[in-house]
């Protein structure tokens, strides 16, 4: 796949890809691609430089606004009262405003250059990310096609075993209740003590099941037949 010939859905001038939370989850810590890491590091540096220049421009604008306000306030004193001190101060403030304008031009030029570098590095990061994700996606898809039949068979077997386990536990519970009713507590304790040797764990079945819910066990009626007395010869 030729990434450079593809059209991205996001614009290079949008927010850098490193700020995307899904990208961060996939690449920021888990993957160790050196090229990705280098681009990410450079983008972080450029974004810090942009923030610093933006803050510098903001402070210069505030200072310029203050100087212009002071110049406007002392204009009357300079041209009406003709106070020499005010004239000198206004001249100095005007020079400061000129210097600030030059610095603001430098800041704007620097920001434009940084934005261009961020856009360029972001395009490189988008291309590298798309290449890696596409390759890993195709590999995972092929592997899934291989393991899917085995996974379905294992799931089917697991479901069957779980169903059988549930059914057998239910039968064991009923058997235990019957045994407890037939043998009593003392004999059941003997069974519990020997059940581990035989592989049957009676203690897995709760004894809190209500015996009152069980129907009484009726003994079959015994019928006796009188045999004739033996005759002596």
Q: What is the DSSP string of 130-149?
A: HHHHHHHHHHHHHHHHHHHH
DSSP state of 13: T
Checking if the pLDDT of 1 tops 80, the result is no
Cβ–Cβ under 8 Å, residues 82 and 153: no
> What's the pTM value of the predicted model, to 2 decimals?
0.59
Task: Find all residues with CB under 8 Å of 209, minimum gap 6, and list them.
Answer: 173, 176, 177
Per-residue pLDDT of 122-146, as tens digits, reads: 988 888 888 888 888 899 999 999 9
Low-confidence winner among 34-38, 181-185, 194-198 (lowest mean pLDDT):
194-198
Q: Please state the domain extents for the chain.
A: 10-158
The token duo for 189 is 């304790």
The token duo for 64 is 């310029």
**In terms of Cα–Cα distance, which of 99, 76, 98 is closest to 86?**
76
What mean pLDDT, rounded, does the chain reach? 78
Helix-, strand-, coil-residue percentages of the chain, each rounded to 5: 80, 0, 20
Cβ–Cβ under 8 Å, residues 100 and 67: yes
């Amino acid at each position: 796949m030729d990434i450079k010939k593809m059209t991205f859905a996001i614009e290079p001038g949008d927010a850098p890809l490193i700020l995307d939370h899904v990208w961060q989850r996939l690449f920021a810590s888990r993957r160790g691609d050196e090229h990705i890491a280098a681009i990410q590091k450079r983008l972080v540096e450029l974004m810090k430089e942009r923030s610093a220049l933006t803050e510098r421009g903001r402070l210069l604008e505030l200072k310029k606004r203050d100087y212009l306000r002071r110049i406007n306030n002392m204009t009357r004193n300079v041209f009406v009262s003709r106070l020499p001190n005010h004239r000198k101060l206004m001249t100095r403030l005007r020079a400061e405003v000129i210097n600030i304008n030059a610095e603001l031009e430098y800041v704007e030029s620097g920001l434009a250059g940084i934005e261009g570098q961020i856009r360029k590095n972001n395009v490189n990061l988008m291309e590298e990310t798309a290449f890696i994700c596409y390759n890993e996606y195709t590999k995972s898809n092929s592997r899934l096609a291989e393991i899917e039949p085995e996974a379905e068979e294992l799931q089917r077997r697991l479901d069957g075993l779980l169903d059988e386990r549930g059914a057998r536990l239910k039968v064991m519970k009923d058997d235990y209740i019957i045994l407890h009713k037939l043998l009593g507590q003392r004999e059941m304790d003997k069974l519990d003590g020997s059940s581990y040797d035989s592989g049957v764990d009676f203690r897995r079945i709760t004894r809190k099941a209500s015996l009152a819910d069980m129907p009484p066990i009726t003994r079959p009626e015994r019928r006796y037949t009188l045999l004739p007395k033996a005759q002596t010869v």
